Amino acid sequence: MSDTSFILIVEDEAPHGEVLKEGLERAGHACHLVDSADAALASIRHRAPHVIVSDYRLGGNMTGLDLLAEARAISPWTQGILITAHGDEQLARDAFKAAGVFDYLKKPLDLEMMRTQVSSAARQAKILRENYQLAHQHQQADAFEGIIAASGAMKSVLHRVRKLARTKLTVVIYGESGTGKELIARAIHNNSDRKKKPWVAVNCAGISEGILESELFGHIKGSFTNASADRRGYFEEADGGTIFLDEIGDMPVAMQSKLLRVLENGEVLRVGSSKPVHVDVRVVAATNRNLKELIVEKKFREDLFFRINQAEINLLPLRDRPEDLPPLIFHFVQQANTIQGTNVKKITPEALHMLTRYRWPGNVRELQNVINQIVAMCEGETIDVRDLPSTPPINATTDIVPVTTRGYANITLRELEKLAIQHALAKNQGNREKAAKDLGIGARTLYRKLREFDLS
């Protein structure tokens, strides 16, 4: 990731301003020089800078501190560096406590110190900007029953959940492990007319075949060894409410026929009993398998499929809805802070970039677990690359296009040119002169390309 930043220099003495501009551009920053507070404010409204470098005394009715206060109202993440003469040092010390004032430097300026402080201020601005955007994305995302949706796909899912909750249809939720199928099922129950009645969740893959029937339908005393008393099953426990049958695709075929009887007649037969028990239960099922393929393989009953698949909800894996990642990260950081008593407030652009580029094979569940770990191990208020776990290898992710036919199949020459420039800048830590040399072009050509691709 390039460290190139946009710096606004406010200096009414043109020679001094040009020296600052040249010195900062040599450090790889893009600079704009203006000679008054009014011109600075117009520039900020047009394009918010990462850093404003301003003399404390600007002439007119506005000081550099006044300018930074107004700039902060326009762009809250922009950082300011004040340049002060000898007599203004106490004023500068007071200003240093103000929001948006990153530091103050005394005249005569040490150009190397100036570069160092501007680079530090720019990095702080990038972190703040990233987190303002993250918070904004979280605010714009739909939040329903603890489910965060920013992508069109997930917003459509939530719309479907709200509608299906009002019906009596049996629903099957399809999706990979960790996509939040139980959350969706619970949301259907919580927004139905059964919400005050029992909610019972059953993992069909987690119960051995030998005891699954007893667990679902109950048993009577003496029906098998150790059956020392009558016992109600999950369906009776859920009477009047909703039963969630997770991983229904893993249910043994013999049990499927008994489940079908319950769904058709509304009656359960306890193991060892000949007396049916009536139940009023809505079924919501979920699976990470393709039930139609299982039907072909004779592993799932077709009649049961049509009975439970009255309506379906399909959850995309997290890698196919990247828009949901930033608000989910923000949500899980806040959640982890509450649970763990921590105070993590920010995340660096580099760390966020790696988190959003990782493919998350374990989906939302994996993301939540990783964020919990990161927040627990973070030593300060800001998550950085060093805080990312080595397992999974999130920090091994790269944004360089792989050298394969598939990687370049649909990329244009213009996109390749932009990619090459970004790579050269990243390789040279934002130093444009070195980047231009690596690219085999002149510095002026690179500056023109940066403006063309909006990379400055």
| Residues 224, 208: Cα–Cα separation, whole Å | 16
Say whether both 208 and 237 belong to one domain.
yes
pLDDT confidence bin for 222, thresholds 50/70/90: low
User: If you average pLDDT over each of 98-107, 147-156, 190-199, which comes out highest?
Assistant: 190-199
| Residues 362, 130: Cα–Cα separation, whole Å | 25
- pLDDT tens per residue across span 237-262: 999 999 999 999 999 999 999 999 99
Looking at the domain assignment, is residue 299 inside a domain? yes
pLDDT confidence bin for 86, thresholds 50/70/90: low
Looking at the domain assignment, is residue 1 inside a domain? no
Strand bridging mode 142-144 / 147-149: antiparallel
Task: Please say if the pLDDT value at position 154 is more than 90.
Answer: yes
Domain count, the chain: 4
Task: Please say if the pLDDT value at position 399 is more than 60.
Answer: no
Q: Which residue has the higher pLDDT, 219 or 148?
A: 148
Q: Mean pLDDT score of the chain, rounded to an integer?
A: 85
| Residues 15, 31: Cα–Cα separation, whole Å | 15
Q: Which of 59, 97, 103, 69 is nearest to 83 (CA)?
A: 103
Say whether both 215 and 271 belong to one domain.
yes
Say whether both 248 and 307 belong to one domain.
yes
Domain range for residue 63?
Answer: 6-139
Last residue of a domain, one of 396, 417, 432: 396
pLDDT confidence bin for 136, thresholds 50/70/90: confident
Q: Which two tokens stand for residue 416?
A: 């390749």
Last residue of a domain, one of 284, 316, 348: 316
Q: How many CB atoms lie within 10 A of CB 379?
A: 9
Say whether both 175 and 249 belong to one domain.
yes
Looking at the domain assignment, is residue 324 inside a domain? yes
Q: Mean pLDDT over residues 1-26, rounded?
A: 83
- pLDDT tens per residue across span 259-296: 999 999 999 988 888 899 999 999 999 999 999 999 99
- pLDDT tens per residue across span 314-350: 999 999 999 999 999 999 999 999 999 999 988 988 8
pLDDT confidence bin for 400, thresholds 50/70/90: very low
Say whether both 227 and 252 belong to one domain.
yes
Say whether both 30 and 71 belong to one domain.
yes
What is the domain-level CATH number for residue 446?
1.10.10
Looking at the domain assignment, is residue 100 inside a domain? yes
pTM of the model: 0.69
Say whether both 209 and 292 belong to one domain.
yes
